[in-house]
Structure 1
Amino acid sequence: MADLSTLGRRIRHFRTAAGLTLEQLGADVGVATSQLSLMENGRREPRLSQLADLAARLGVTVQDLLDESPPDERAGLEIELERAQASPAYRELGLPDLRPTRAMSDETLRTLVGMHRELDRRARQAVATPEEARRANTRQRRRMRERDNYLPEIELLAADAVAAVGHRAGALTHRSVAEMAERLGLTIVHVDDLPHSARSVLDPERGRIYIPPASIPGGHGLRSLALQAMAHVVLEHRPPRDYAEFLSQRLEASYYAAACLMPRDVSVEFLQRAKQERRIAIEDFRDAFGVTHEAAALRFTNLATSHLGIRLHFLRVTGDGAVEKAYENDGLPLPVDVTGSTEGEIVCRHWSAREAFTRTTRTTEYYQYTDTPAGTFFEATQTGAGAPGEYSITLGVPYAESKWFRGRETVQRATSRCPDLSCCRAPDADLATRWGGRAWASARVHTHTFSPLPHGTYPGVDDRELYEFLASHVDD
């Protein structure tokens, strides 16, 4: 059944168009005028048989009545006002509902709805603070931990999409990605003027996915950008209501893209064979599907526990030791703040994620065993460099699981006592005595620490810049 407010207004719209009064229509279909009035006001749900009778009398189909779009602009404004006044934010104000009457002009209605839109935007803007973002990210990480980072419903959608274009194994080609877009009624368009705050832009109205030029370095990542945009269509995402929903949609879109680039069945077959031969290596998984090391490591976290029975952890860490991304279901004691968030926290200097930066040769993975208060872990780390600076990608498992991985013969071993300050954060006592209070350093400030999240429908994306970009491509 369609939304009752929309359904009621569509009944009223077609009744008025047919030149019928409530009394006339009610008499013709055997419904009391009072009951029909409640239906038109969205306060009573008609039975399907009544809908059929109403549609027949009004000369339309039942589907015409059930269409989810408002019949005209005024009806749409009335529905939006009604929903805004039913929101928790408005209810908290203790103000009465203002019901639009026939005497209320369209201009007045537009003003009221515009005011509610702005109030809603400011409310969402207010909660999209760094602290709220950290709390929302923590809740999401915990939910995914409970599911072993595995979303079978998205796996099935991705498998169907890939099979539909005839892809079976190996790297998913750009041509196949374009065909997948076409099947959704979308065209991939490469542009060099994307909003600086957006990696891609989806314009479902015109059926376009805008991504950077194909000639950019590391262009293999463009497949993922296009697939993430398609995911919003496949998963029927709507503009996020809050930051938590935005994070959830972003995770689902990224998951869908990864599941297309590294399809479950062939990926599991590849990994199971590697496990049997005791030579699991993220760099092999990466090369087999033509993706980045980070993408392969993250995809491994999706499949390892559910299909290989391996518990693990993943870390992306900056050159100065700050966590950018993290996942674990193996008990690794991640550094966390009082909110439970790990993003931005500093990992122990003795973990593989930081030890790997000390190597002079970084072309291959670095392997290490790390003793922690929670047990010993085997870790494989690959370093890289990007626009923001150096980073490392780490995939680790408990000691008992190391037998399945290449690099397990390493003699590199470290001990971490963190969060004990004496492990790696407190200075040497003699050095503290010698230099304490005798030096002054100018800190390299992380400016993002003080930056609020950009305001907009999608956190991090400037609405004005986005809409101006779309307008500039209307005539392309």
Structure 2
Amino acid sequence: MSEPLDALLIGRNIRDLRTRQGMTLEALAVAIERAPSQVSALENGKRAPRVIQLQQIATALGVSLDALLTPEPLSDRSSKELEIERAQRNGMYASLGLPEMKLSKGLSEGVLDTILGLQKEVERLHLLKAATPEEARRANSALRQEMREVNNYYADLEAQAKELHALIGHTTGPLSERLTAELANKLGFTLHYVSDLPASTRSVTDTKNGRIFLPVRREGREGRDPRTALLQALSAHVLKFSEPTNYEEYLNQRVQSNYLAGALLIPESSAVPFLTQAKEQRELSVEDLRDMFAVGYEVAAHRFSNLATVHLDIPVHFLKVHESGTLAKAYENDKVAFPTDVFGAVEGQIVCRNWSARRVFSIDDRFTPYHQYTDKPSGTYWCTSRIQSSPQGDFSISVGTPFASVKWFRGRDTNIRHRSECPDSSCCREAPAELTAKWDEGVRPVPKINSSLLAALPRNGILGVDQREILEFLEAHEPTN
């Protein structure tokens, strides 16, 4: 895809070419049969130029279209002026309520440097102020919209996974721990399992000495796959991530590294034929995908959501819900309505008690998949759910699809069915009138204090990791020659 035209840069180039030729604004306007005010708007970058207009301007100025679109390198002063103009066009400057500043030739270089310095400091303070849960939720909402538009499938990351598989000669089936370690070695890293890994990290990569530190494996932790943390660390290296400067970058990096790790664990070339055959037999099952590739249920559910729509033509939704009912992760392209806050974010919202993701917690049998139909305001959906334990508590992992697509799945014959009217508060959040009348004046609960309310901002940047602890850790493990 070609880059969009930079209206401000092209406008400045038009003005420079015109003045160098001694042509007035009015003369150029006459030559292209436009009003002088329209030409002025183009030169000031306030109107995006159309290609046909650029061709007319190039002809009037006696230059090629390429010369108009690829200006000569700007002088140091012009670069500063352009940066100041750009800053005045963004929403942050508008929110300050300041008038637009005209940049005249009489302004000295020192004044321009001062203006730029002030602008950068305002931007820094704005980012600091914006580093809140609200900003994170907005970034999450935007990312979820992007994932929906591409059906949660990223072809470039699939191609990257294929190249990495080729690097170690992996062609089909599960990716073994041996091959995972070999991939790290091929990428220039040695692995070191330690008992003192900083508590705020899942792994630490020492790029200076080509070493990756991972926690000593503790048996018996359900859902902990020793390959996952290593593959995520390798993915961040392969994708050349730098330290994120805002939540949007952080979330995008996390999604990309998780996606690439999942694509390495469950190769597209093996998974698609496996799922296609299961669909033909009307036996699609997340459990089978998990068992086929020897991964955790959450990894299998995530990977199924990557491949289901693009390769199987099945719209899906995915949820990870804490035992408290709080939604931790979600994705959908099947128009199911997740609970949202005023920013449109779903993370942290409470899922309806009648959804499969909540009902599964009441089932004693944790070995058998739980299947349920739910009649929702947006239609009837079928869902399969499982519970996964972690140090943070129990979570349900759910994959669902609209009623029209359930014919392809094992478990479609369940007779469990519930109705949800959420977000209508009378569905499961509002107490019945008789209970409210009886207990309205007779109850005084003491809520748990949510620690995030007391520390909304991470103290150590976007990642929230303890930088000093990490550097002291690396210093303690510095190799001696």
Q: Same fold (TM over 0.5)?
A: yes
Secondary structure of the residue aligned to 2:388 is strand
Matched, 1:213 2:211: no
Contact 2:327 2:349 in 1 (8 A): yes
2:333 maps to what in 1? 329
Q: Give the Cα–Cα distance (whole angstroms) in 1 for the partners of residues 265 and 111 of structure 2.
A: 52
Matched, 1:415 2:419: yes
Q: Give the Cα–Cα distance (whole angstroms) in 2 for the partners of residues 165 and 192 of structure 1.
A: 29
Matched, 1:446 2:450: yes
Aligned residue among 167, 185, 188 for 2:188:
185
Contact 1:125 1:455 in 2 (8 A): no
Deviations 1:347-381 (A, max 9, x none): 11100000111112122210000001100000000
1:424 maps to what in 2? 428
Aligned residue among 267, 272, 291 for 2:271:
267
Task: Go from structure 1 to structure 2 and tell me whether the alpha carbon gap of 1:186 and 1:457 turns closer, same or farther (over 3 Å shift).
Answer: farther
1:250-399 residue pairs with structure 2 within 5 A? 250-399=254-403
TM-superposed CA distance for 1:85, in Å, is 10
Contact 2:235 2:260 in 1 (8 A): yes
Contact 1:352 1:370 in 2 (8 A): yes
Q: Give the Cα–Cα distance (whole angstroms) in 1 for the partners of residues 248 and 474 of structure 2.
A: 26
Root-mean-square deviation over aligned CA pairs: 3.0
Q: Give the Cα–Cα distance (whole angstroms) in 2 for the partners of residues 324 and 160 of structure 1.
A: 32
Matched, 1:462 2:466: yes
Deviations 1:300-349 (A, max 9, x none): 11000000000010000011111000001101110000000000101111
1:39 maps to what in 2? none
User: Which amino acid in structure 2 is aligned with residue 183 of structure 1?
Assistant: K
Name the stretch that deviates more: 161-170 or 335-344: 161-170
Q: Give the Cα–Cα distance (whole angstroms) in 1 for the partners of residues 119 and 216 of structure 2.
A: 39
1:216-255 residue pairs with structure 2 within 5 A? 216-218=219-221, 221-255=225-259
1:24 maps to what in 2? none
Secondary structure of the residue aligned to 2:380 is strand
Q: Give the Cα–Cα distance (whole angstroms) in 2 for the partners of residues 195 and 475 of structure 1.
A: 18
Task: Go from structure 1 to structure 2 and tell me whether the alpha carbon gap of 1:453 and 1:288 turns closer, same or farther (over 3 Å shift).
Answer: farther
Contact 1:317 1:391 in 2 (8 A): yes
Task: Go from structure 1 to structure 2 and tell me whether the alpha carbon gap of 1:122 and 1:174 turns closer, same or farther (over 3 Å shift).
Answer: farther
Q: Give the Cα–Cα distance (whole angstroms) in 2 for the partners of residues 456 and 297 of structure 1.
A: 32
Q: Give the Cα–Cα distance (whole angstroms) in 1 for the partners of residues 86 and 391 of structure 2.
A: 42
Q: Give the Cα–Cα distance (whole angstroms) in 1 for the partners of residues 323 and 451 of structure 2.
A: 16
1:400 maps to what in 2? 404
User: Which amino acid in structure 1 is aligned with residue 358 of structure 2?
Assistant: R
TM-superposed CA distance for 1:453, in Å, is 3.9
Q: Give the Cα–Cα distance (whole angstroms) in 2 for the partners of residues 88 and 356 of structure 1.
A: 51
Contact 1:121 1:457 in 2 (8 A): no
Structure 1 residue ranges, 4+ long, deviating more than 3 angstroms after superposition: 43-46, 84-89, 91-99, 115-126, 214-220
TM-superposed CA distance for 1:226, in Å, is 1.0
Q: Give the Cα–Cα distance (whole angstroms) in 1 for the partners of residues 451 and 311 of structure 2.
A: 41
TM-superposed CA distance for 1:171, in Å, is 2.1
Q: Give the Cα–Cα distance (whole angstroms) in 2 for the partners of residues 145 and 384 of structure 1.
A: 25
Deviations 1:59-85 (A, max 9, x none): xxxxxxxxxxxxxxxxxxxxxxxxx99
Matched, 1:169 2:172: yes
TM-superposed CA distance for 1:242, in Å, is 1.4
Name the stretch that deviates more: 211-220 or 230-239: 211-220
Contact 2:246 2:462 in 1 (8 A): no
Aligned residue among 438, 441, 445 for 1:437:
441
Contact 1:135 1:340 in 2 (8 A): yes
Q: Give the Cα–Cα distance (whole angstroms) in 2 for the partners of residues 455 and 221 of structure 1.
A: 29
Secondary structure of the residue aligned to 1:385 is strand
Unmatched segments (≥5 aa) in structure 2: 1-70, 75-82, 102-109
Contact 1:313 1:332 in 2 (8 A): yes
Deviations 1:245-287 (A, max 9, x none): 1110111011110000001110111111111111111111111
Q: TM-score under structure 2 normalisation? A: 0.74
Q: Give the Cα–Cα distance (whole angstroms) in 2 for the partners of residues 117 and 459 of structure 1.
A: 22
Aligned residue among 135, 140, 153 for 2:138:
135
Q: Give the Cα–Cα distance (whole angstroms) in 2 for the partners of residues 354 and 442 of structure 1.
A: 24
Q: TM-score under structure 1 normalisation? A: 0.75
TM-superposed CA distance for 1:137, in Å, is 0.9
User: Which amino acid in structure 1 is aligned with residue 182 of structure 2?
Assistant: E
Contact 2:383 2:400 in 1 (8 A): yes
Q: Give the Cα–Cα distance (whole angstroms) in 2 for the partners of residues 342 and 220 of structure 1.
A: 25
TM-superposed CA distance for 1:473, in Å, is 1.6
2:200 maps to what in 1? 197
Unmatched segments (≥5 aa) in structure 1: 1-42, 47-83, 100-112
Task: Go from structure 1 to structure 2 and tell me whether the alpha carbon gap of 1:450 and 1:277 turns closer, same or farther (over 3 Å shift).
Answer: farther
User: Which amino acid in structure 1 is aligned with residue 143 of structure 2?
Assistant: Q
TM-superposed CA distance for 1:299, in Å, is 0.6
TM-superposed CA distance for 1:422, in Å, is 1.1
TM-superposed CA distance for 1:450, in Å, is 3.8
Aligned residue among 155, 158, 161 for 2:158:
155
Task: Go from structure 1 to structure 2 and tell me whether the alpha carbon gap of 1:96 and 1:172 turns closer, same or farther (over 3 Å shift).
Answer: farther
Name the stretch that deviates more: 265-274 or 162-171: 162-171
Task: Go from structure 1 to structure 2 and tell me whether the alpha carbon gap of 1:366 and 1:262 turns closer, same or farther (over 3 Å shift).
Answer: same
Contact 1:186 1:209 in 2 (8 A): yes
Q: How many residues align?
A: 386
Q: Give the Cα–Cα distance (whole angstroms) in 2 for the partners of residues 271 and 192 of structure 1.
A: 39
Deviations 1:86-114 (A, max 9, x none): 9959x979984659xxxxxxxxxxxxx9x
TM-superposed CA distance for 1:170, in Å, is 2.5
TM-superposed CA distance for 1:464, in Å, is 1.8
1:70-149 residue pairs with structure 2 within 5 A? 96=111, 124-149=127-152
Secondary structure of the residue aligned to 1:317 is strand
User: Which amino acid in structure 1 is aligned with residue 402 of structure 2?
Assistant: P
Deviations 1:135-172 (A, max 9, x none): 11111111111110000000001011012212222221
Q: Give the Cα–Cα distance (whole angstroms) in 2 for the partners of residues 466 and 291 of structure 1.
A: 29
Contact 1:455 1:463 in 2 (8 A): no
